[in-house]
Amino acid sequence: MLIHESVLAATRHHRERIALIDEHGDTLTYGELGRRVEAMAAVIDAAAPAGAPVAVHSRKSAATITAMLAVLRAGRAYLPVDPSAPAQRRQWILEQAGAKLLLSDVALDPADLDLPLLLTADIMSAYSSVHSGQMWKPPRVGLDDIAYILYTSGSTGQPKGVVITHRNALAFVSWAARTLPLRPGDQVAVHAPLHFDVSVYDVYVGLSAGATVHPIAERTMLFPQALLDLLTRRRITHLYAVPSALTSLVVRSSLTSGGLPDLRQILYAGEEFQPTPLAALMAAARNAIVTNLYGPIETNVVTQWTLDGPPRPDRRIPLGRPIDTVVLGLRGDDGRLSLHGPAEGEILVAGECVTPGYLHRPELTDGVVVMLDGQRFYRTGDFARRDENGVLHMLGRRDFMIKTRGYRVELGDVEAAIDGHPQVAEVAVVAVPDPLLTHRLHAVVVAAGPVTQDLAGDVLGYCRQRLPAYMVPGQVHVVDDLPRTSTGKISRQLLADLIATGKEPTP
C-alpha cells in the first residue's frame, strides 16, 4: 500500500480512536479523518488540473494534515508551502512548481496569492454540492508518480524543489514502521514543520499505526517552556526533532532530570547533537530510547545509530550503519567507491529512497547524480569515515570543511571541543573569509545559566588546552540564543554574514 493508503486503512480499523489533537485540544477520530480525506479528495480532483501539484499552506494543524492526505488520495502531488517564508519566496515557489490550486486552513490575503484558494473549512459543503450523493472514484496512482515536493535552499539563492515519488516515500515509511514502530495508544508529537522531511515519520508512520498525532503549533515551538508544558500535559511518548530545538528545550526551559518520564522514543536528525545537552536530555527522559538518524532531504534517512547510554563530552555521535533499504558508499579523492571495510570519503547513496531529481532543474540534478557500477548514486556532499566495524562517523559537510592557516579544519570538531565546557549550553562555529588566514574561526556560544565571569575568554583558554593552535577560534561571541532557520536548525550562514559585516551575531 502507498503511504496514504496505509493511513486510510487505519481510519477503517481504528474508527473511534483519536487520530489528531490540534493546538487547542480539539480532536479528530480516525473515522472522521477518513471521511474528511475522501471529501477533500473529491473536491480536489474536480478543482485541480491533472499533473499539476496542489500547494498546501503548511501551518501545522489537523486540517493541513488532512489536506495533504486528500491531495494524495486525489492522485495529485502536494507542495507544502512554508507560511513563515517571505511572500516573494512563496510566490516564486508556486510559480516554479506550476501549482494551480492552494489549500489553506486559514484565510490568506488575496494580494499575497496568484492562484485559486480553497479553504479546508469549506470543503465539506463543496463536496455535497458538487457530488450530490454520487460515488467518487479516485484516480490510479503509481509508485513512480510524484507524492510531494519539498523545497530547500539552493546555492544560487533560489530554492530548489526536491521531488519525492510514492516509491521514495514508501521506502522510508516502510523501513521506519518496521524499525521504529508506533502503535495505538502512542502519543506522537509533530515538532518539525510540515514542509520538512522529518515530519514524514510522525504523520505517516504515526497515523498508519493508529497512534494519536499532535501537531505542535509554530508559536509553541518558539518557546521551550511552552513546548515542555505541552509534552508533559499531553504525556507525549514519541518526539522527533532537530538537535537545536532539543537543546533549547534543555537549556531554556525548566526541564529537570527525570522530567519527561512518559517519553519512550527520541529521534533526532538534521544536524549534529552536541554531547552535553544530549546527555542532559537523556537524563530528563530516562525511559526513552534515543536514536540519531542521518540523511539529506533527497534521500530521507539512510543511517541509524541508537545510543546505549549518555555520550561522553568531546565525543561526536556516530552516524551509525546504513539502513537495510539503501546502498551506501564512500567515494575517496581518487574517485573509487568503497562499499565495505574501513574507508573515508564523500557519502553516496543509491536505492529506492533516492529522489529522481529537482523539479524542472535538470542541470542541478545532473550535478548531484553519478552512475557507478551500474547504479545511480546521489552525492550528499557529506564526508564520513567507516571504521572496521562498519560504523560511519561524520567528518563534515563540504561547506563545513575549511582551510585556515594552511590547515584543513572540520568545524564540527571545534564545536565538539567547546561543547565540553561546563558553562556552554550551545555552540556554533563559523568560518569568515580572511585575506591573510584564508578563514578566521568565530565561536558563538550560549551560556548555561547566568554568566558570572569572562565566558568568552574562558572558552578561548579552554580551547587552547584541547585544540591545536590553528583550530582555536580567533574570537568567541556570547549570545542569549542562536538564530534558527524555518526548520529549526542553527542558521550558520546568518551568523557568518553578521560577523563578516561587523555586526554582533544576535538572533
- Give residue-wise pLDDT tens across range 313-359: 878 899 999 999 899 999 998 999 999 999 999 999 999 999 999 99
Q: Are residues 66 and 190 in the same domain?
A: yes
| Domain assignment present for 274 | no
Q: Are residues 27 and 54 in the same domain?
A: yes
Average pLDDT over residues 234-246: 94
| Domain assignment present for 437 | yes
Question: What does pTM read for this prediction?
Answer: 0.84
> Looking at 99-108, 177-186, 188-197, 339-348, which range is the least confident one?
99-108
| Domain CATH for 357 | 2.30.38.10
Q: Distance between CA 83 and CA 56 in Å, rounded?
A: 10
> Looking at 178-187, 211-220, 451-460, which range is the least confident one?
451-460
pLDDT, tens digit (0-9, with 9 covering 90-100), for 255-296: 999 999 999 999 999 888 989 999 999 999 999 999 999 999
* Pairing, β 78-81 against β 54-57: parallel
**Domain final residue, candidates 222, 248, 276:** 222
**Domain final residue, candidates 396, 423, 453:** 396
Q: Are residues 155 and 205 in the same domain?
A: yes
Q: Which domain holds residue 43?
A: 3-222
* Pairing, β 392-397 against β 375-386: antiparallel
> Looking at 44-53, 138-147, 271-280, 493-502, which range is the least confident one?
493-502
- pLDDT on residue 120: 84
| Domain assignment present for 311 | no
Average pLDDT over residues 36-56: 93
Q: Are residues 175 and 27 in the same domain?
A: yes
- pLDDT on residue 105: 87
Q: Distance between CA 384 and CA 396 in Å, rounded?
A: 7
Q: Are residues 392 and 445 in the same domain?
A: no
- pLDDT on residue 398: 66
What is the phi/psi pair of residue 166, to 5°?
A: -60, -35
pLDDT, tens digit (0-9, with 9 covering 90-100), for 433-466: 876 677 889 999 999 888 767 999 999 999 898 8
Q: Are residues 438 and 368 in the same domain?
A: no
| Domain assignment present for 314 | no
Q: What is the DSSP string of 457-473?
A: HHHHHHHHTTS-GGGS-
What total number of domains does the chain contain?
A: 3
Taking 90 as the threshold, does the pLDDT of residue 21 lie above it?
Answer: yes
Taking 90 as the threshold, does the pLDDT of residue 61 lie above it?
Answer: yes
User: Which amino acid is residue 43, in one-letter code?
Assistant: V
* Pairing, β 187-190 against β 238-241: parallel
pLDDT, tens digit (0-9, with 9 covering 90-100), for 100-114: 999 988 887 765 667
Q: What whole-number percentage of the chain has pLDDT above 90? A: 66
What grid cell was written down for 369? 547524480
- How much is the mean pLDDT over the chain? 90
| Domain assignment present for 312 | no
| Domain CATH for 409 | 3.30.300.30
Q: Are residues 61 and 162 in the same domain?
A: yes
Res. 400 pLDDT band, cuts 50 70 90: low
Q: Are residues 492 and 446 in the same domain?
A: yes
- pLDDT on residue 344: 95
Q: What is the DSSP string of 100-147?
A: -EEEESS---GGG-SS-EEEGGGHHHHHHHHHTT----PPP--TTSEE
Q: Are residues 369 and 474 in the same domain?
A: no
Helix (H, G, I), strand (E, B) or coil at 386: strand
* Pairing, β 424-434 against β 265-268: unpaired
Average pLDDT over residues 216-221: 91
For residues 142, 144, 146, 147, the Cα torsion angle rounded to the nearest 10 degrees is: 60
Q: Are residues 383 and 456 in the same domain?
A: no
Taking 90 as the threshold, does the pLDDT of residue 492 lie above it?
Answer: no
**Domain final residue, candidates 396, 431, 450:** 396
Name the more confident of 245 and 202: 202
Taking 90 as the threshold, does the pLDDT of residue 409 lie above it?
Answer: no
> Looking at 72-81, 173-182, 373-382, which range is the least confident one?
373-382
Contact 67, 86 (CB under 8 A): no
Taking 80 as the threshold, does the pLDDT of residue 418 lie above it?
Answer: yes
pLDDT, tens digit (0-9, with 9 covering 90-100), for 117-145: 888 887 766 655 545 445 788 999 999 99
Q: What whole-number percentage of the chain has pLDDT above 70? A: 93
Average pLDDT over residues 92-106: 92
Taking 70 as the threshold, does the pLDDT of residue 494 lie above it?
Answer: yes
Q: In what order do the strands lie in the sheet with 18-21?
A: 27-29, 18-21, 212-215, 187-190, 238-241, 265-268, 289-294, 303-306, 321-322
- pLDDT on residue 373: 85
- pLDDT on residue 132: 46
Task: Return the H-helix or E-strand segment holding 365.
Answer: helix 362-368
Taking 90 as the threshold, does the pLDDT of residue 154 lie above it?
Answer: no
> Looking at 47-51, 89-93, 409-413, which range is the least confident one?
409-413
* Pairing, β 369-372 against β 375-386: antiparallel
| Domain CATH for 103 | 3.40.50.12780
| Three-class SS of 332-349 | CCCCCEECCCCEEEEEEE
Task: Return the H-helix or E-strand segment holding 493.
Answer: helix 492-500
Q: Distance between CA 256 and CA 384 in Å, rounded?
A: 35
